[in-house]
Structure 1
Amino acid sequence: MKPFVVTPRLIAINQLAALPKEETFAWRAVGDDPQFALRNALLLPGWHMLEVEMKHDQECAVLKLYFDTGEGISEAQRVAMPLKNGRITKRLVYLPGGIKHIRFDPLESEGCFSIRHFRFVWLTPWFAHDRLAQRLVNMHFQWRGYTKQSVLPALKALAAEKQVKWRELALQHYEATFESFDTGSNYTDWLARQPELTTEQATACLSSFECQPTVSILLPVYNSDPGYLAACLDSVLAQRYPHWQLCIADDASQDEAVKALLDRYAAADTRIVVTYREQNGNICAASNTALESAVGEFVALLDHDDCLSPDALLEVVHALQTAPQAKLIYSDEDKLNSFGERYEPHYKPDWNPDLLLAQNYISHLTVLNAQLVRTVGGFREGYEGSQDHDLLLRTTAALAPEHIVHIPKVLYHWRAIEGSTALSHQHKSYSQDNGLKAVNDYLAQHFPDAKASLGHIPNTYRVCWPLPESRPLVSLLVPTRDRVEILQPCIDAILARTDYQQFELLILDNGSRCPATLAYMKEVQARDSRVRVVEWDQPFNYSAINNVGVRHAKGEIIGLINNDIEPINSGWLTEMVRHVCRESVGCVGAKLYYPDDTVQHAGVILGIGGVAGHAHKYFSRHAYGYFSRLHLAHGLSAVTGACLLVRKNVYEQVGGLNETHLAVAFNDVDFCLKVREAGYRNMWTPYAELYHHESVSRGADDNEEKRARAAAEVHYMRATWAEQLDNDPAYNPNLTLTHEDFSLR
């Protein structure tokens, strides 16, 4: 049966301007509510597949369709779909009868775009139900672990229990897999859905604590805005944990209103201690004065215009009940605008030492063992603006990972006002220079051959790790079968655009028959002595062929390289070798792009789609990413095997790739997790950039045999690594496991 296909005509009706043909894009959205009306859209009621390809200049884009059945446009009759930039995106749509009008909103902000493909394909109910069940199994946390065949009966049973129509319930669950809450406009809505700790729960929690240490809050003050300062002090008084001390050091403020305010609060609560410095020093001097007053076992850092959440200290002490060895506890944070509204939450990873070298990701709330702070000398003058970063680098140097605890909850609200680094790092440019000085001080003491420089983004840093004097040989393994049009650009680009010369390139030939491919392999092997061809004429098994390649490799370092990879910058291999030669590092991954310069791989996030997904997929090449992470070298649980370096002894230590259970997919994730379990840290660097024509040579899982194999590989990963997949320490439990964009869960 030939599908019934409708390609509607798009009529611009709001905030849209057509661009000249010579422009890159066809349309410009001139406001935040651009709209098309769909004409000639004679659509049958029932199930359809919506297919859209749109090229745009946004970091990410979500299209929305509104269906008017005679009662006007409303959110109740709306579907949304996050778009893959420049690639066809598909989703199921169920169209009710009696549609009068359809509206299409391409963007949610000003920007440029072109629509290359837009159509509806009518589907049989059987096919639509099959696709719906498959997506729920893959992408919805509630249906994880179900088989595709069991989803619909379970949905119908659940609908009967809830006394709703099963299709409505199914569509709600399906729609949830497309929801992508950006951390700005929808954060308020997301917060409203989060459970809050009741007074009774807080009281019960407190009474259960065996350990109830005093936490001394250090608060340097200087000519503070009285309103913001009062809000800050009130947030301390509102703490549900009572055993705190507020150590205020006024750095010789000239504003009498500040002194009057501090005196009033100190008189009202004996836990508040105010010290008035006779001379103005700086934030470091004032913080040290506050530290002198601290009597608590722990100190917490608070800025004079910021606020703590009411449960901040309760959560900190709660964490100490299960981690009494902790010396550093930090939380997530968000920002307050001038109206007191919360926005831009920063949901952080667990302890990530390389990320701390690249930026002060820990920031607020920070709680430290007081004796540890005193031992390292407190706050160092000369590091103003980055004094907290400097303190964290010096204190964490003395700590084991188990001494550092991350609380994945927003316990600190950073006020974004004029002059604050919360609003823009440009307001305090000196902080960047002092931050760089702090990072280099740390490196000089602990890694004297390493050197940091400023990163691409303000207040970020790049560490250049040393290469061994005797450059290790790298064995690059490239599995392939025929397809010379893919293989040749890959091999030639590696040979031409790699400034690290100590490498050999092993083409692992998986039974090529194409004369042109065989001729090319013979020619390139004769042309360049670094190239060898290893024959392996067996059924395709990515894990097995790479394990064979490792046995033939002469290098100390193994590089797993797909045959559809092309280097962009010549320093890609040098950068990766610098990291992989660090004793603590296991696997090292690179920044990979699609040919249209959107991100294909910026590390692997565990749990997305049930097993794993790629961080920042489809973001533009120059996008900052989630809190600048697209431009920062940092630790991750896993990286893709499309371009992965690892020391040969580590590869062999963990038994190589799993050729028994993971012949095609997830073998790289499984391998990285084995490496991590062996005690190594896996790294991703944005400074090794390559193009990746993803899965061009292997093809899609488009028949029953391939789909069965893929399902078995998913089952193996869940059975083997379920706990790790559901709790990625390099991610955050508040972030999505449906999308690859760091949106809210």
Structure 2
Amino acid sequence: MEDEIFLKRFTISAWREYELWLFRNRNFSLYKLQELNKRANNFKFKPKVSIIMPIYNPDPYELRQAIDSVLWQAYPYWELCIVDDYSENLSYLKVLSKLSDHRIKIKIKNKNTGIAETSQYALEMTTGEYVALMDQDDELYPDALYSFIDILQRREVDFFYSDRDMISSSGGRYMHFFKPDWSPEYLLSFNYTSHFEIYKKGLVLDVGGFRKGYEGSQDYDLTLRITEQTDKIYHHPLILYSWRQSQSSIASSPNMKSYIFESGIKAIADTVRRRNLPVKGVTEDETLWRGHYKITWDDSIKSGKKIFLILIGRCLEETDRLRNLFEDVVRSFDVEFISTDYDIENINRALKNIHRDGYVYFCDDNIIEVVSDGLIDTMGYLSMDGVSAVGCKFIDSENKIFNVGLSIATSGRLLFSYRGSPRDEKGYGGVTMIPRNVSLVFPSFWGCKGSVLQERNFFCSGKGYFYSVMNFFKMIIKSGERITCVPYMCLRIDKDRLNYDEETNAFLDQWMEEGLKDKYYNPNLTDIYEDFGLKV
């Protein structure tokens, strides 16, 4: 009975909708865990996973819950490496004195050196092939390690991350975060992969492990460096980790630990420097919650690339209007305007004069105002290796969001991210405010590398503009390249002029026929609404 009561903790939430989801998807029983344990023991590949847990003045109850969640793992081949960073309050030692499991290793340091060095100390204690990170007051779901090892039976993984939720002060689960699949540009905005992360130990050692001077963001720094060395990255779209909102936690009191965000800035600054990107600086994004960052691009990027701005209009008056609209925006850029109509053959003819190493932007006559000029930001992200196209944020005449990138639900429905929401809506995971990877952007304004257009022989003939561009995006995604939505660039659109339903349906039919999925839209999110709500 006591065991069953413990397992019920994973389905308790003050959020009714989330509690229903938990009951349907994370409802554990002793029988279920026994079955998972049997399967785990029958796995052909059963590597040891070393869980690193640096601690400092932990709350005894919360520490016990964290350790118990490890002891409850259905996958048995693990070790827990606990390292105390010279705590002042030793009341938690009673908890450790009651532990008898040989898989738990404990070390108490003789001086305080910070969480980065303490994490490195724990790393050096590990004997497993993989290393997982865990905070002293958080909890793993019982199938956390099992889920990872199950994936390893079918594919090689160097970096694994899962979805997570949070534990409130009353003990219930809430604040779920269902993440996208691997999104390199999103990671430059905040540490979205955090909790639950597992790394191949050899790779961690190759990049130098945890670095002193990045206290509080040492895991962020590690992830940024690790993911530059491998493409064997896997996101598991299921809640495996609960981040506790305790009094000492960053989840509860972010302003108590400002050094964490200074370290985050430093980690991103190091990253863009390693990648030789034309960046002027990195700051915290003050429009969002702490821990979100913004890259400021150097003006040298303006003269470094030729821009071809393709103006698409129903008539000459419309393309002239667009030219007038953008002349002030591009005054300091090297820009060539090219006017055309919506006919794909005419657009393709216009594109034959572009330079391979230039950037090509498309703007159609549904655009009526430049609300915020983030053209330099779109160029910055377009300069990144692997990014082939960029888009922006659109608002309508009522100052409501029209979309900030497009998603395709598992049902095949096209979702306009946060359509109808207030312009200043921050969105789930900050998606309306920060650059992120998407499968599609709205074609009324977008940019692309000239080389990518030429390599694909421009657009497919015999189709309308909307379908042709969406099909082009599909080709980009299928080739393993990326599209980034950059909401710092915001345009006002006249949605009453839009007429693309027939082309949308044709494109979506093709998408579903090819069995594609939108890897940047978590399958646990709604396929009906456009607010990134939970699917229940």
TM-score, normalization: structure 2?
0.89
Output the CA distance in 1 between the equivalents of 2:112 and 2:238: 35
Equivalent residue in structure 2 for 1:580, among 382, 389, 392: 382
**2:519: which partner in 1?**
729
Cα drift, residue 583 of structure 1: 4.1
Bigger CA radius of gyration: 1
SS class of match (1:493): helix
Equivalent residue in structure 1 for 2:204, among 361, 364, 373: 373
**2:273: which partner in 1?**
444
Tell me if structure 2 keeps the 8 A contact 1:608–1:736.
Answer: no
Output the CA distance in 1 between the equivalents of 2:385 and 2:119: 37
Output the CA distance in 2 between the equivalents of 1:245 and 1:338: 28
Equivalent residue in structure 2 for 1:640, among 429, 442, 450: 442
**1:178: which partner in 2?**
none
Tell me if structure 2 keeps the 8 A contact 1:334–1:345.
Answer: yes
**1:315: which partner in 2?**
147
Tell me if structure 2 keeps the 8 A contact 1:576–1:589.
Answer: yes
Cα drift, residue 570 of structure 1: 6.3
**1:341: which partner in 2?**
172
CA separation of 1:552 and 1:368: change in aligned 2, threshold 3 A: closer
Deviations 1:623-653 (A, max 9, x none): 2111112222122222121111112221121
**1:481: which partner in 2?**
314
2:175 partner letter? E
Cα drift, residue 429 of structure 1: 1.9
Structure 1 position 491 matched with structure 2 position 323: yes
Structure 1 position 453 matched with structure 2 position 280: no
Output the CA distance in 1 between the equivalents of 2:200 and 2:171: 31
Cα drift, residue 333 of structure 1: 0.5
Equivalent residue in structure 2 for 1:549, among 350, 370, 381: 350
Output the CA distance in 2 between the equivalents of 1:438 and 1:383: 7
**2:397: which partner in 1?**
595
Output the CA distance in 2 between the equivalents of 1:472 and 1:322: 43
Cα drift, residue 287 of structure 1: 1.6
Output the CA distance in 1 between the equivalents of 2:304 and 2:14: 45
Output the CA distance in 2 between the equivalents of 1:222 and 1:580: 42
- Give me the identity figure in percent: 29
Output the CA distance in 1 between the equivalents of 2:245 and 2:271: 29
Deviations 1:56-84 (A, max 9, x none): xxxxxxxxxxxxxxxxxxxxxxxxxxxxx
**1:472: which partner in 2?**
305
Structure 1 position 387 matched with structure 2 position 387: no
Output the CA distance in 2 between the equivalents of 1:625 and 1:671: 27
Structure 1 position 254 matched with structure 2 position 88: yes
Alignment of 1:636-675 (within 5 A): 636-660=438-462, 662-663=463-464, 665-675=466-476
Cα drift, residue 346 of structure 1: 0.7
CA separation of 1:420 and 1:544: change in aligned 2, threshold 3 A: farther
**1:718: which partner in 2?**
512
**1:39: which partner in 2?**
none
Tell me if structure 2 keeps the 8 A contact 1:608–1:739.
Answer: no
TM-score, normalization: structure 1?
0.65
Equivalent residue in structure 2 for 1:245, among 65, 76, 79: 79
CA separation of 1:711 and 1:564: change in aligned 2, threshold 3 A: closer
Structure 1 position 210 matched with structure 2 position 44: yes
Output the CA distance in 1 between the equivalents of 2:467 and 2:409: 12
**2:118: which partner in 1?**
286
1:186 partner letter? E
Cα drift, residue 699 of structure 1: 4.1
Tell me if structure 1 keeps the 8 A contact 2:467–2:506.
Answer: no
Structure 1 position 562 matched with structure 2 position 361: no
Deviations 1:415-436 (A, max 9, x none): 0122322224333222111100
Alignment of 1:186-225 (within 5 A): 186-194=17-25, 196=27, 198-225=32-59
Q: Which runs of 5+ in 2 are unaligned?
A: 1-12
Output the CA distance in 1 between the equivalents of 2:479 and 2:20: 42
Tell which deviates more after alignment, 581-590 or 363-372.
581-590
SS class of match (1:630): coil
Alignment coverage as a number of residue pairs: 515
1:472 partner letter? K
Tell me if structure 2 keeps the 8 A contact 1:384–1:434.
Answer: yes
Deviations 1:361-389 (A, max 9, x none): 01101111222222323222221121111
Tell me if structure 2 keeps the 8 A contact 1:498–1:571.
Answer: no
**1:697: which partner in 2?**
497
Output the CA distance in 1 between the equivalents of 2:57 and 2:220: 24
Q: Which runs of 5+ in 1 are unaligned?
A: 1-181, 510-540, 702-706
Output the CA distance in 2 between the equivalents of 1:449 and 1:664: 33
Tell me if structure 2 keeps the 8 A contact 1:560–1:643.
Answer: yes
Tell me if structure 2 keeps the 8 A contact 1:619–1:625.
Answer: no
Cα drift, residue 184 of structure 1: 4.7
SS class of match (1:631): coil
Tell which deviates more after alignment, 338-347 or 553-562.
553-562
CA separation of 1:337 and 1:583: change in aligned 2, threshold 3 A: closer
Cα drift, residue 711 of structure 1: 4.5
Output the CA distance in 1 between the equivalents of 2:481 and 2:276: 18
